Amino acid sequence: MKLIPYRALALARKELYSYAYSPAFYGIAVFFLLFVSIWLFYIQRFFALDNASFRGYFAAFPLAFILVIPVITMKSWAEERKMGSVELLLTMPFSEWDLVLGKFISSFGILAILLVLTLPTPLSILPLGDFDPGVIAGEYAGALLLGASAVSLGLFLSSLSKSQAGAFLGSAVVLLSTTMINQLSLSLSLPAVLSELVNFISLSFHFESFSRGLIDSRDLAFFILSTVLFLFLNTRVLLYRKWR
């Protein structure tokens, strides 16, 4: 039995082709690469630090994802709903999980491509210092897991929206909140229970261990479970629309 239904893969392939002809993809790719590079070389002043670590580089990824992920996911369901094609998809021989997984695979694939495009930066700097490749691999693994969770959240919010603009704004606001909320526990004297709750729902808090090259099973479980949760909620939205 195949882990991923072939119908989901077929839909994902169609979606990836549509991204290839979308100016938004190329625009967000340029923005992402410029943002993380400027963050590393001008804001973090990498060469002035004289430190063989890319932790500052990967610290920019959660911030960039606040805008990158909404652009990738905003049209996935909102555009289908606007054009009325979502009703057509729901009448085809696709299960809700087929549709949701197809959208997720394509959006996550685009994000993975963007991350691959960042590889030349660390690869070009590696010969200049005693860097630990294992740490860098862990940092990229964390970026992929963080991206998977954020993409599933963006797709869920897109399924609730009637327009791409609404999906973009909703995803950006929610990602900004869940990324930066852990700053409250750092700047305010919160009760221990509330501080733990704030940190638990913060994406950047769970990414911190990966940014140090450490793979914490608790953070790994958080990203996997949150990804599955939002994909499940996405299927419930489709099921509601199907039988409404």
Which percentage of the chain shows pLDDT scores above 70? 92
pLDDT of 2 higher than 60: no
CB-based contact 203:179 (threshold 8 Å): yes
**pLDDT tens for residues 133-162?**
888 888 999 999 999 999 999 999 998 888
CA–CA separation, 202 and 208 (whole Å): 10
CA nearest 139: which of 39, 28, 64, 57? 57
pLDDT of 83 higher than 80: no
Question: What does the DSSP assignment read for 113-177?
Answer: HHHHHTTHHHHHHGGGS---HHHHHHHHHHHHHHHHHHHHHHHHHHHH-SSHHHHHHHHHHHHHH
pLDDT of 174 higher than 80: yes
Q: Is the pTM of this model over 0.85?
A: yes
CA–CA separation, 176 and 70 (whole Å): 11
Going by pLDDT thresholds of 50, 70 and 90, the confidence category of residue 108 is very high
CB-based contact 150:203 (threshold 8 Å): yes
CA–CA separation, 204 and 215 (whole Å): 14
The whole-number pLDDT of residue 242 equals 67
Burial class, 174, CB count within 10 angstroms (exposed 0-12 / middle 13-18 / buried 19+): middle
Residue 212 DSSP SS3? coil
Q: Where are the domains of the chain?
A: 6-243
pLDDT of 64 higher than 80: yes
